Structure 1
Amino acid sequence: METQHRFGAAASVPVLANSLLFRTSDLEEARDRVSRVFCSHRLRVVGERGPIGAEMYFRQIRGIGVGRILYGASVVIEPGQLDSFALIQMPISGAEVVEHGGETVNSTPDVASVVSPTLPVRMRHGADTEKLVVKIDRDALERHCRQHLGGNLRQPVEFRPEMSLVAPRSLSWVRLMNWLCDEVGQERSGEDTILDSPLFSAQIEQMVIATLLLSQPHNYSERLEDNGPSIAPHFIRKVERFIDENAQEPLTIGELAEHAGVSTRSLFAGFRKYRSTTPMHYLKDVRLQRVREVLLQASPDSTTVTNVAMQWGFSHLGHFTSDYKRAFGESPSATLGR
């Protein structure tokens, strides 16, 4: 059975149900197993001590890792500085208080915490709180930041610790996390998947880190925003026109790259740099807009949301409805019922 998660704009997708690392009621075992993935830390139960009811799911993909952690009891977690990695924590349910670098984040399903490697952190995790966590190796983070800036970093990358998951700036991050969790959730034990491909895992690493650097303020944000020309290359505008004219067709990233006359890697990099998205996300956004246009003109007596969604390539109606609500602030049935 798949476990569902919710964060940000009420997204709901499978959460790593096939990547279980451990499940335990022993405090020391929980601390030891989490330490192996992250770092050494102190872990204690707050209030009357009982079974900790901890479980953890985790999947490493090159320089990033995505996981889910649950503690059944209220606990305090004190790792000091993370040093070798950054950590983004997004509650699926419940809440936690994160004290980091002299600031306090009250983290909920709408507010994530972003923990930088070089600043001290202390967390108070509420009982029965589940959170999605994304671990980013510091070396990979700083390497990608250097590549974007075209020079060395004089200081470590330090993020603002609070991230609103419902703010427009964060929606690309939320969409990316939903997609990544969905992909990991589809894996089957013992089978190689596209996530095991060195080429694809490198693209995922680049996409996750670039999206974080562009969506969450940090001490290099100004330089990143000023870096590079604002006018997109011809091949990006060419692909955008092609998508606009052929959005109802079953387009693939390979076909888009072939039409543009560039490699898929260059196409991804161009869209990330100049549009802060990916070609396929751009395609999805165009299709969502077309669905909305049809629904606004249609009659509920002669049209169904399912039929219109299918016509525009949305075969998973649950994901479609979540994406539509996130984009337009209402359900597709509400649009049709106007």
Structure 2
Amino acid sequence: MEISHGMGAAVARASLGNFPLFSTFDLDEARARVSRVFCEHSLNVVGRSGRLGAEMYYRPLRGVGIGRMRYGASVSVDAGQLGDFALIQMPLSGAETIEHGGQTVLSDPSCASVLSPGQSLRFRHEESTEKLFIRIDRETLERHCRQHLGGDLRRPVVFDAAMHLQSPRAQAWVRLLNWLCQEISEDDASGAGMLQSPIYAAQIEQTVLTTLLLCQPHNYSARLADDTPMVAPSYVRKVERFIDDHADEPITIGDLAECAAVSTRSLFAGFRKFRNTTPMQYLKDVRLRRVREALISASPESTTVTAVAMRWGFTHLGHFTADYKRSFGESPSATLGR
């Protein structure tokens, strides 16, 4: 069985065999162990399929992880919304029917599924299915996309859910995964492999993210493909630095124009042209990220969402909650409660 000119199932199985995570015949244990890698979800055996025989192999590399798994039996999975990660699933055998963010994908060895953070996910994993998967932390993905675009992201990255592996662009992804599986086959837990090097792992992470962003269509593809020089003028970068340093202080558009020594009209025009946003939206996005950082590190026993939101200038809690969920795919109380 091959996935598009070279990703052999035997290669993937051999390369990940030295990183076993679990093997079980117990449905509840399988659900709990898979949840630790991905997120909480429901898991049910469908119909009179074969006996559950779940197993997973997994190798994390910084903000990226590559793994292989199967359930044995035909199962249905409902994950609600993906929050903190993107997920690419590439069946080595069998098939899955994916319902994701309003799209339906029949995924088999010729078609991978690309699942975006913040989008709903349900799927049926057929009895004979075994798959390779790549998990990417949401913050890692969005930071990398921001670095390429030279500015903030007003919306989360949302991919087309189907990756047709025979297409010319997808072939670059297949070749990369084939190479990465070969690298993992040379790796082990003893510390002797090249993947143990933080520098090498960082380069692999960057290559995986860049290849995915360039080969799979998403809502920022057109901007990434635009090779027109778009170096922002110094006053835009100066305002960004000012906001980053003073986001916890009362700031008006007049303050930002004064800092930049340009008119408010010029400031709006510069941000619209070079950042595809407005100065005040940039300020809001920075404050939302600071709230998230504070909630992740805080304890529910020592603080509240209201206190953190007010600390960063959000006085209308209904609007704040809606903006937060739109940006991060979960409510602020869910972030604090983890």
Which of the five TM-score ranges fits, normalised by the shorter chain?
A: 0.5 to 0.7
Is the 2:54–2:71 contact (alpha carbons within 8 Å) kept by the matching residues of 1? Answer: yes
Which amino acid is the alignment partner of residue 195 of structure 2? L
Q: Give the C-alpha shift of residue 50 in structure 1.
A: 5.4
Kindly provide the amino acid, as one letter, of the partner of residue 186 in structure 1: E
Give the CA deviation at 1:89.
0.2
Match for residue 70 of structure 2?
Answer: 70
Separation in structure 1 between the aligned mates of residue 176 and residue 200 of structure 2, nearest angstrom:
15
Aligned pairs (5 A) from 1:276-291: none
2:316 equivalent in structure 1: none
Aligned partner of 1:171 in structure 2 is: 171
Which stretch of structure 1 is more off in the superposition, 184-193 or 26-35?
184-193
Decide whether the 8 Å contact of 1:9 with 1:165 is kept in 2. no
What whole-Å deviation, never above 9, does each CA across 1:243-284 have from its counterpart, x for those lacking one? xxxxxxxxxxxxxxxxxxxxxxxxxxxxxxxxxxxxxxxxxx
Q: Which whole-Å CA distance do the structure 1 matches of 2:20 and 2:127 have between them?
A: 20
Unmatched tracts of structure 1, length 5 or more: 230-338
Aligned-partner Cα distance in 2 for 1:192–1:217: 37
Q: What are the residue-to-residue correspondences of 1:183-222 with 2, within 5 Å? A: 183-222=183-222
Q: Would the aligned equivalents of 2:49 and 2:74 in 1 still touch at CA under 8 Å?
A: no
In structure 2, what is the equivalent of residue 95 of structure 1? 95
Identity in percent: 57
Partner of 2:7: 11
Q: Tell me the TM-score normalised to structure 1 length.
A: 0.65
Q: Is contact 1:8–1:111 with CA below 8 Å preserved after alignment?
A: no
In the TM superposition, structure 1's runs of 4+ consecutive aligned residues that sit over 6 Å from their partners are none
Matching of residue 146 in structure 1 with residue 142 in structure 2? no
Determine if the alignment matches structure 1 residue 42 to structure 2 residue 38: no
Give deviations 1:281-318, integer Å, cap 9, x for gaps. xxxxxxxxxxxxxxxxxxxxxxxxxxxxxxxxxxxxxx
Superimposed CA distance per residue, residues 146-177 of structure 1 (whole angstroms, 9 cap, x where no aligned partner): 00000000000000000011110111100000
- Structure 2 length as normaliser, TM-score? 0.65
Q: Specify the alignment match of 2:104 in structure 1.
A: 104
1:75-131 C-alpha deviation (Å, 9 max, x unpaired): 011111111000000000010000111111000101000000111011100002000
Task: Give distance in 2, aligned partners of 1:93 and 1:15.
Answer: 16
Amino acid at match of 2:82: L
Distance 1:214 1:188 in 2: 30
What's the offset of the Cα at 1:142?
Answer: 0.2
Counterpart amino acid of 1:80?
Answer: G
Pairs within 5 Å for 1:118-133:
118-133=118-133
Aligned-residue Cα RMSD (Å) equals 1.5
| 1:60 counterpart residue number | 60
AA matched with 1:32: A
Q: Which runs of no fewer than 5 residues in structure 2 stay unpaired? A: 230-338
Alignment of 1:212-251 (within 5 A): 212-228=212-228
SS at the partner of 1:72? coil
When Rg is computed on C-alpha atoms for both structures, the one with the higher figure is 2
Note the C-alpha offset of 1:10. 4.2
Structure 1 equivalent of residue 160 of structure 2: 160
Q: List aligned pairs for 1:76-87, cutoff 5 A.
A: 76-87=76-87
Q: Which amino acid aligns with 1:100?
A: H
* Count, aligned residues: 226
Q: Which SS does the other structure have where 2:3 is aligned?
A: coil
CA separation in 1, counterparts of 2:203 and 2:57? 22
